[in-house]
Structure formats: C-alpha cells, structure tokens
Structure 1
C-alpha cells in the first residue's frame, strides 16, 4: 500500500498534555461557499431573498392551517 497525500499534520510537544492537530481545508470550497453566502445573504439581494423566503413561509403555514382548520371544524 502506498501512503495517501493528506493535508493533516500532527505535532506533539515534549509535554504529553499538548498535542496539536492541524487540518488544511480546500480554499476553493471555502471561497465558493463564502461567495454564495455573500451574494445571497447580504445587500439588496439578501434583503429580497429574506422577504421572499418570509412570504413563502407565511403562505405555507397559512395554507396548512386553513386546510387543517377546515377538516377539524367540518360539520358532519
């Protein structure tokens, strides 16, 4: 078996109570997520996304409540 290339480094100090493990994450993944978050959650687009999301949530809860109330209070 050949060793795999990883970005995990382990260093141990002389004192056994101080172990350090450091992992390097991919910069492309982090920057991609940060770009999407920055674009959709901040500024004017972020406000629009939050308003649209709030309206969708409101109407979803309203319709579920209306249908549930209709069947619960339906005259027999």
Structure 2
C-alpha cells in the first residue's frame, strides 16, 4: 500500500514527478526554475550558447588532431 500524502505532477515535457504533498524538495525546483530562464534567454543566454559552441568546437578539434596524429604517425 502507498501512503496517501503522495502527489503526482506532470510537466509540459510529459515527465512524471512523484513527491510528498508536504512540499519536500520544492526549494531546489523553484531555485532552478528561477535560474533557468536567466541562463537560457536574452543576452546572457546567447552568450552561454556561443561560448558552449566554441568550447565544443575546440574539444572536437583537439580530439580530431590527437586521433589524426596517432593514426597517421610515421613508424
């Protein structure tokens, strides 16, 4: 048998969240919900996406360089 104080909440991405009805863990969710729009929109969001893209480019470039070095190394 399950306790009666559990609540089931559905997000718009169709994920199911089951938690206690007393509100345990809502502080973490509300702090992320407040921070997420700031990091994903406006000028800061665009800057974060650009920096992430540049960082991803360099990671792939360096991995390709190292892999190419070992594949084409003269013996």
TM-score (structure 1 length as normaliser): 0.65
1:36 is displaced (CA, Å) by: 1.5
Larger radius of gyration: 1
Structure 1 consecutive aligned stretches of length 4 or more whose deviation exceeds 4 Å: none
Distance in 1 of aligned mates of 2:37 and 2:5: 27
RMSD: 2.5
- Give the number of aligned pairs: 60
Task: Render the CA deviation track for 1:39-64: whole Å, top value 9, x for unaligned.
Answer: 11111100000000000000000000
Matched, 1:45 2:28: no
TM-score (structure 2 length as normaliser): 0.66
Provide the residue aligned with 1:62 in structure 2. 61
Unaligned runs of 5+ in 1: 1-5, 10-20
